[in-house]
Structure 1
């Protein structure tokens, strides 16, 4: 049976820990993010979390139903950080671009947490607010509802997929990541044109690009497609548009 989660107001009345701090849900999430950075995904356990907080490990269950519930809170925290301080411009493409890049940046700042949470749906406040914002931006273009949902899904999944992919690379041990990056220079750039004409012809460009994230370019491609859909929807809804016989 899942343990009862204590309301936030009751949690605030808790006595300070041995380290002189009052445990809150936010403090647990912050501590978990630090532990993921220092020890990786396997290092995030109830026992270690209790030690890091200077509290009994069972303290976690006053705030979360377990590590998986904490994982969802971490996912929501990353989205909250991505959206914090955002200033909408009223230009739908500009605003979507900024949100996508903000999500990517926020996740890459915590690569272990990104790999752990990018595929999760938390249903929590920051995630819901972010979804509401993106849907509102898309609806402001006049797109049909079906297109709004189609582009919304592609936008969110693309941002999180690239965040997970790029974070997984950053989470590798330094030696492994350096070795992967060197492959483009030491292997691909040395392939002869006689056997690999396409790679050889493009080798300088491949070396220059392939160790960087493709997300900004992929995001622009998605926005180009969305803009084409917006133009088509506006053309179809234009009462003055004449049709060819």
Structure 2
């Protein structure tokens, strides 16, 4: 997609296309997400989107100026899928734990799209809602503003990074994933203790745990550190 700006007021198409499709930003984003999961990043082309939508490819410019504009909308929709069902309970650790796990699960549900968009900053509605909500959880818990921002940054980057990492793995062909998972059993568990004592001692645990994501454990370490920091802050202020 090349840059081709259409005034915002002229972007919406009220009448169906020749194929009977009434276009909208939501429909285009949903279709793009489906195509990305089927075909990868090459799906983000005007021609392929138009064909999938049954619409003239040029009509997509009524809603998105170029490919990157559409990619940011896709990234924001993935955030929205995390945020829409989430409701804070007032228990800050539980709220952050659930939200982080939702972010990670959302990435695995759309692995190719997540790998394309996890590192982007959209500045759009759902991202703004997420930033506001997470900072609110931390500030209400009692973190001073600099600490709230520091923990927010680490929390979000961790969830997105693990989401992208595990999504990239999930996007591999199944045979490749299975072959890599078996390396822990066929290679590491057979290394001799005289040359690799640490691997040999922990081999059963490596085989048992390395097939899955370490995100839940990493998230717990981060939240435990955040809780310890909050206790330090409260002790310093005598509360």
Give the TM-score of the pair, scaled to structure 1. 0.93
1:176 alignment partner in structure 2: 176
Alpha-carbon contact 2:108-2:167 (below 8 Å) kept: yes
How large is the RMSD of aligned CA atoms in angstroms? 1.5
CA drift at 1:41: 1.4
> Deviations for 1:156-193, whole angstroms, at most 9, x for unmatched residues?
00000000000000011222111111111111111111
* Distance in 2 of aligned mates of 1:203 and 1:238: 46
Q: Does 1:77 align with 2:93?
A: no
> Deviations for 1:187-224, whole angstroms, at most 9, x for unmatched residues?
11111112111111111100110010000010010000
1:34 alignment partner in structure 2: 34
Which sections of structure 1, spanning at least 5 residues, go unmatched? 240-245
* Distance in 1 of aligned mates of 2:54 and 2:183: 45
* Distance in 2 of aligned mates of 1:228 and 1:164: 28
2:158 alignment partner in structure 1: 158
Number of aligned residue pairs: give it: 238
- When structure 1 is superposed on structure 2, of 191-200 and 12-21 the one drifting more is 12-21
1:67 alignment partner in structure 2: 67
Q: What is the 5 A alignment of 1:110-125?
A: 110-125=110-125
CA drift at 1:19: 3.5
Alpha-carbon contact 2:83-2:130 (below 8 Å) kept: yes
Give the TM-score of the pair, scaled to structure 2. 0.95
Greater than 6 Å deviation, 4+ residue runs? none
Q: Does 1:4 align with 2:5?
A: yes
Alpha-carbon contact 1:4-1:65 (below 8 Å) kept: yes
1:47 alignment partner in structure 2: 47
* Distance in 2 of aligned mates of 1:74 and 1:6: 21
* Distance in 1 of aligned mates of 2:19 and 2:34: 17
